[in-house]
Amino acid sequence: MLITPSIAAHSATLPLAPLAIARRAVGPQDVQIDIEFCGICHTDLHVAKNDWGRSVYPIVPGHEIVGRVRAVGAQVTRFAPGQAVAVGCFVGSCGTCSSCADHMEQYCLSGYTLTYGSPSADPGGYTQGGYSKSIVVGQDFVLSLPDGLDPASAAPLLCAGITSYSPLRHWGIGPGMTVGVIGLGGLGHMGIKLAHAMGAKTVMITTSPGKAADAMRLGANEVLISTDEEAMLVMANQFDFLLNTIPVPHDFNAYMSLLKVDGTMCIVGAIGPNAQLNTRPMILGRRNIAGSLVGGIRETQEMLNFCAAHGIVSDIELIKAADINQAYERMQKNDVKYRFVIDMASLV
């Protein structure tokens, strides 16, 4: 058993605070990782505050993990001490269902094991995440961090990056296509970068004219203000694909007329029940509404390699561990461009 410092949520109402946690001993198939950087995802905030009613305290958030291998088990063949590696949103799956067989562990029919908050054989009975100095993960759920990616800025690729990449890849985004990215936040800014790198005409769709300049800097070819009714009419039937990253309930029917015949709007925000679905624009244009989670391990590695090849990382604000509660407060106010990342060297 390994003892490591961490930052944990101790209840839904208390600030996050330091906690020494136990990690399992390194088994034959395990990789022990010294964590260098961990991104802060909005999911971390939801879990820390028990917004979804499933949190078991104390809980250590964090599923955008970058670090270096400290030690490997006797049967580990793909990783070696000193190697730069990464860990994303899940650290286990059944390995036998049809989804796992198709390298889509994120859709494991038996349920995957989350990087934090899932029942497990780890000390304490639950997985604990990346706001810590060290983690032990089975080698099948460890990713290689390609050369050339700044490790701090690469950390959010493990959630925000792959959540945007997976649907773009699945729907075959490429040259000659027009893609709209709805919402300019942690996911949206990655969606712009990735769609642009895939060769699509990329349009930022936002309610905020003040975000236009930043959207263009990130790679958008155009900006569409969704509250401008005339502009929305002009862009009707122009989009092959819409990546809807808005993380709160909203009326997504308003965007359906933008899609071409057979176009798809993919929702990646965990918004839960929403406005009543208007089927008329779907029927008239054979349009589709879909959803998407993160990618599987193979696809996540593909995404990291793609980002390295195209020089893509997240725009981040690097913080010290002691500033975690201030970062959470700012995140609730959308006061971040576009992702906080914790420098774990600051955790003592």
Task: CATH 3.90.180.10 in the chain: give the residue spans.
Answer: 2-159+314-346
pTM (2 d.p.)? 0.95
Which residue spans within 81-185 are E strands per DSSP? 84-87, 90-92, 113-114, 134-138, 143-144, 178-182
Residue type for position 347: L
Q: Which helix (H) or strand (E) holds 223?
A: strand 222-225
- Of the candidate CATH numbers 3.40.50.720, 3.20.20.70, 1.10.3720.10, 3.40.50.1700, the domain formed by 161-291 belongs to 3.40.50.720
- Fold classification of 2-159+314-346 is Quinone Oxidoreductase; Chain A, domain 1 (3.90.180)
Cis bond upstream, residue 167 (ω within 30): no
> Over the stretch 104-119, which tens digit does the pLDDT of each residue have?
999 999 999 999 999 9
Q: What is the pLDDT of residue 275?
A: 65
Pairing between strand 201-206 and 339-343?
unpaired
Q: For the chain, which residues score pLDDT lower than 50?
A: none
Task: CATH 3.40.50.720 in the chain: give the residue spans.
Answer: 161-291
Contact 48, 61 (CB under 8 A): yes
Q: What is the pLDDT of residue 220?
A: 98
Residue 236 CA to residue 240 CA, distance in Å, equals: 11
Instruction: Please tell me the number of Cα atoms within 13 Å of 111 on its side-chain side.
Output: 5
Q: What is the pLDDT of residue 46?
A: 93
As a residue count, the chain comes to 348
Q: Give Cα separations from 312 to 183, 201, 328 (angstroms).
A: 19, 17, 25
Q: What is the pLDDT of residue 250?
A: 87
Q: In a 10 Å sphere around its CB, with 0-12 CB exposed, 13-18 middle and 19+ buried, how is residue 195 labelled?
A: buried
Residue 220 CA to residue 193 CA, distance in Å, equals: 8
> Over the stretch 199-208, which tens digit does the pLDDT of each residue have?
999 999 999 9
Per the listing, tokens 């712009």 go with 192
